[in-house]
Structures are given as structure tokens and as C-alpha cells.
Copies of this chain bind each other. A is one copy, B any other.
């Protein structure tokens, strides 16, 4: 990486950090680029030199988080003895991570809604590129969805691999392919977490702690995955 590239990469990270702060404390619609420029101590022009618009920057936060998970998770999972243990460990980390900071699933929801409204599903576009091309896409509003989806797929690959490990060592059911099981786990975890945040006042009213719900939902997931 040249010095110029290094400088650009450092700046990109500073902006993403500032944006993450802004999006974590208020709804997407309330955040604007001026505020992010202020937080990052940059001019509006400099900010736009890095990111075309708010949505591009938003997806870049999500993408960065997937990259972070790709760095951390494989090491954490290595010490778990069976495939099922690995899947349960990863599920617990995701549950806990998102309960602390729900921005990642706000971004994934935003992505899914954008994709549902898109003329061509991102999945089709994705299939037309090589991995090298995908990894080299510039950051623009046109490529934001595809760049994000590329990291999402790499993250999903971690799930596919550990589910396959579990099917091979006999700890996970084999009646569905790893990609299907992985998708079902995502639907389950994301759906439950989303609702837990949404009905938080009902949980308070019923004196039902989030920890109890989380514990039952994880037990539940284990039972679903067992052969």
C-alpha cells in the first residue's frame, strides 16, 4: 500500500468511526452528512470525497463490522470441540453483540429492504463477478450494496463451514444443506433479537428479563440443530 493509500485508508476508518457513533444514537433518517463531517472534524467537501452519500457510508459501517467478525470469530471457534458447540458459541456471540449495539441489524434490515425494492436482486449481480473483482470494487453509491453483500457472504461462509463440521462429526442434523440451516439460524436469531428490542416495554411490564428470553431462545436453537 502506497503512503497515499495508507492515508486514505486511515481517513476512511476515522469517518466510519464517527458515522457509527452518529447512527448508534439516532434513527437513520435523522442523521445527516454535515453532522458526520463535524464529528470527524472534516469539511463537508472532504467527507464527500470519501463517500458519495449517507447510505454508502451506512453500508460501509456494516461491511467493516462483518470484516471484524471474520477476523475474530475463526480464532474463538477453534477451541470449541464440536460443530454444534461452534455454532452455539457463534450464536451466543451474535446475540450478545447485538443486544449491546443493535446498529448491525439495523443495517442488515436496511440492506434487505433496499434489495427487495431493487430491480435486479443483488444475488444475481453478485454471481456475475469474480471474487477478485468483488474485493476490488471502489466505494461509490453504485457499488455500496454489492460491496456490503460481498462481506455478508464471507461472513455467512463462516456459518456454512462450522455447520458442515457439525454435520460431519454427527452433532448437527443432516437433513438440510449447511446453507439452508445457516439461513434458518439467521432468520431465527435476527428475528428474535429484533422483536426483543421492539417489545422491550412489554418485557419490563411483564418483569421478564431479556436474559431469560435469550437463554430460552439459545436452548431452543440447540434443540433445533441436534440430529
Partner of A202, one of B176, B183, B193, B198: B183
The residues of B that contact A223 with a CB separation of less than 8 Å are 220, 223-224
Give CA–CA (A101, B100) in the complex, Å. Answer: 33
Whether a CB of chain B sits under 8 angstroms from the CB of A213 is: yes
**B206–A179 touching, CB < 8 Å:** yes
Determine the distance from Cα of A11 to Cα of B176 in the docked complex, in whole angstroms: 51
Binds B, one of A18-26, A85-93, A115-123: A115-123
A selection of 12 A-B contacts at a CB cut-off of 8 Å is A112-B198, A112-B202, A115-B201, A116-B198, A121-B201, A121-B204, A183-B199, A183-B203, A187-B195, A187-B196, A187-B213, A192-B192
Residue in chain B with minimal CB distance to A203 = B183
Q: Which of A120-141 contact B (CB under 8 A)?
A: 121-123
- Asked if A180 is an interface residue, CB under 8 A from chain B, the answer is yes
A179 neighbours in B (Cβ, 8 Å):
206, 208
The 0/1 profile, CB within 8 Å of B marked 1, for residues 180-223 of chain A is 10011011101111111011111111101000110011011001
Assembly stoichiometry (copies)? 2
Q: Which of A115, A122, A201, A212 has the most CB of B within 10 A?
A: A201
In the complex, how many angstroms separate the beta carbon of A184 from the nearest chain B beta carbon? 6
Q: Which residue of B116, B196, B201 contacts A200 across the interface (Cβ within 8 Å)? A: B116
Chain B nearest Cβ from A87, distance in angstroms: 15
**Complex-state Cα separation, A217 to B208, whole angstroms:** 23
Q: Please measure, in the bound complex, the distance between the C-alpha atom of A212 and the C-alpha atom of B184, giving whole angstroms.
A: 10
Q: How far is the CB of A88 from chain B (nearest CB, A)?
A: 15
